[in-house]
Amino acid sequence: MSEFVRLETQDGIGTIRLERPPMNALNTQVQEELRAAASAATADPEVRAVIVYGGEKVFAAGADIKEMADMSYVDMAERAADLSSALGAIARIPKPVVAAITGYALGGGCELALACDWRVVAEDAKLGQPEIKLGIIPGAGGTQRLARLVGPARAKDLIMSGRMVDAQEALRIGLADRIAPAAEVYATAVELVRPYLTGPSQALRAAKLAIDGGLEMDLASGLAWESQLFAALFATDDRREGMAAFVEKRKPDFTGR
């Protein structure tokens, strides 16, 4: 049983909930429990969409600095790839994933949010990558995912200054997708993913794979990857149902097959 990270499933939504008071610091145990929760959410057919949530007060205020303070280069060289891949497991969930952010999403917490498809941010939340103030840089995807999301110039501003941004700035630069009162963040995240719960899950998976995978390729390779995924969907029941429903002028009944 996980101590600090739980996967709760209700009405097709899997909530990956962090519970390590007071700030949900992402120590090694939390990182590995996130990996396990991502694997469970991926494997469970009852989970059609995922919300990553730190609770009503804080999303995650970063890595556990006390745990890292005495680590040597050799120590971190052995751990760094696992740190990155633990949050990468969230990014690889082949279903819609939204981060519901209250309080702070800093350092590793911001990187966890970046691993999600969308971010719902509380009106009073603060986001940032303050690692530079510790003499290091983000090491769990921050330099890569943030630059792809907001562009290299803005990513350099945030990472090289270490400053925090509020919800309005996060929305303006594309780091946030929706803003809500803190008490309504989770409910807003539910509303964001609700349309996908009855959607064609294989096509949603393919769309995510095409977009995320294509970002790592040149245009010609990305187009070939898209074509492959597009053609593969013609083997699914949902493709047949979707096209039949269109022809028959009715609402499709997708089964995820």
Catalytic positions, written as ranges:
63, 108, 111, 131
How far apart are the C-alpha atoms of 102 and 122, rounded to whole Å? 5
102-105: long-range pairs with CB below 8 Å, 24+: 102/54, 102/55, 102/56, 102/57, 102/58, 102/59, 102/182, 102/185, 103/54, 103/57, 103/58, 103/59, 103/61, 103/182, 104/23, 104/58, 104/59, 104/60, 104/61, 105/59, 105/60, 105/61
Tell me the C-alpha distance between 78 and 139, whole Å.
Answer: 13
Cα distance between residue 98 and residue 192, in whole Å: 8
Question: Residue 26 is which amino acid?
Answer: L
67, two tokens: 């745990």
